[in-house]
Amino acid sequence: MVNKNKIKTIYNFFVKKLLRAKKTKFFILFSITPLLIFLLINGIKLLYNDNLLAGHDFFKNGGMPFFFQFYIQLVSLLFGAAVLSDEIDSKTLIYLNTSPISKFSILSGKLAAYLSVTFIIYAIGSSLLYVTTHFNGILTKKNLLALLQLEFAGLIAIIAYSSLFLLFGVSLKKSTIIGLVYIFGWETIAQILPGTAQKITLFFYLNSLTPIRIPKEKGILNISISQPGFAEALISLLLFSAIFFAASVYIFKKREYLLADHT
């Protein structure tokens, strides 16, 4: 039987710990990098009386790829894999394994904490950039709905990628390296491969949730696969996330971890 109080206790402890962590503060600063670049470019253009960079174009061609093809994946990897690797590195995993708290509660509480903090970090950077680049019409219904959809898409992306990288973390050594290969290798290469290779990447479904679609390259045979609908993409990502998490819990329960293991 699931003990919600124990999950809540673990969640609260690790949320507070993560919010105080230096890497969290670094990722918050990193999340506003596109905003700083946008302000810098337009600041320079103002000095030289040049035409300002269009906010919508910058967000579409710079902000969207940054957050949905780089930032979310990278932070989810470093936080998702850390759900277990932090305990191994600090040699506290043995205490968790021998505690009266179930392994399901441990993973659930820690993952929920990492998901929450990752989403907060993402929301700060993405919302500030969107509001700034759409400042003139930000209060219109269209832009407010797009902002909500942007944050929702980011949340689903964080859940999906973090669940995948949690699975990497509990089942593989050097999971961070493998995760980087997946992000910058497989998810990039699959976009140009012929056939249905794109369908076995999370980004293929994620791109259907965003308010502004990220342009994709045609395959090496000049074939472009049509995107799934919003509902299909959402159900697929949530289903993948549930499978990844269930597999993580199963492996975590069955596997014996040594203090020498590093993910």
pLDDT at 87: 66
pLDDT at 190: 83
On whether the CB atoms of residues 153 and 60 are closer than 8 A, the answer is no
Q: Where are the beta strands (DSSP E) in 123-250?
A: none
Query: So where are the chain's domains?
Result: 6-254
Exposed e or buried b for every residue in 25-50, given b needs 16+ CB within 10 A? Answer: eebeebbbebbebbeeebeeeeeeee
pLDDT at 263: 44
pLDDT at 139: 76
**What's the CA gap between 249 and 102, in Å, rounded?**
10
187: closest CA among 103, 43, 72, 97?
Answer: 72
Can you give the pLDDT of all 263 residues of the chain as single tens digits? 567 788 888 899 889 989 998 989 999 999 999 999 999 998 888 888 777 778 888 998 899 999 999 999 999 998 887 777 666 655 666 556 666 677 788 888 989 999 999 999 999 999 999 999 988 877 788 889 999 999 999 999 999 999 999 999 888 878 889 999 999 888 888 877 766 778 888 998 999 999 888 766 554 444 566 788 999 999 999 999 999 999 999 988 877 655 545 44
Q: Which tokens is 136 given?
A: 């003139």
pLDDT at 99: 64
On whether the CB atoms of residues 210 and 184 are closer than 8 A, the answer is no
Indicate whether this model's pTM tops 0.95. no
pLDDT at 175: 82
108: closest CA among 249, 253, 204?
Answer: 249
Burial of 260 (0-12, 13-18, 19+ CB in 10 A): exposed
170: closest CA among 90, 91, 93, 239?
Answer: 93
The number of helix segments (H) and strand segments (E) in the chain equals: 14, 0
- Compute the Cα dihedral for 167, 172, 178, 182 and give only its sign: negative
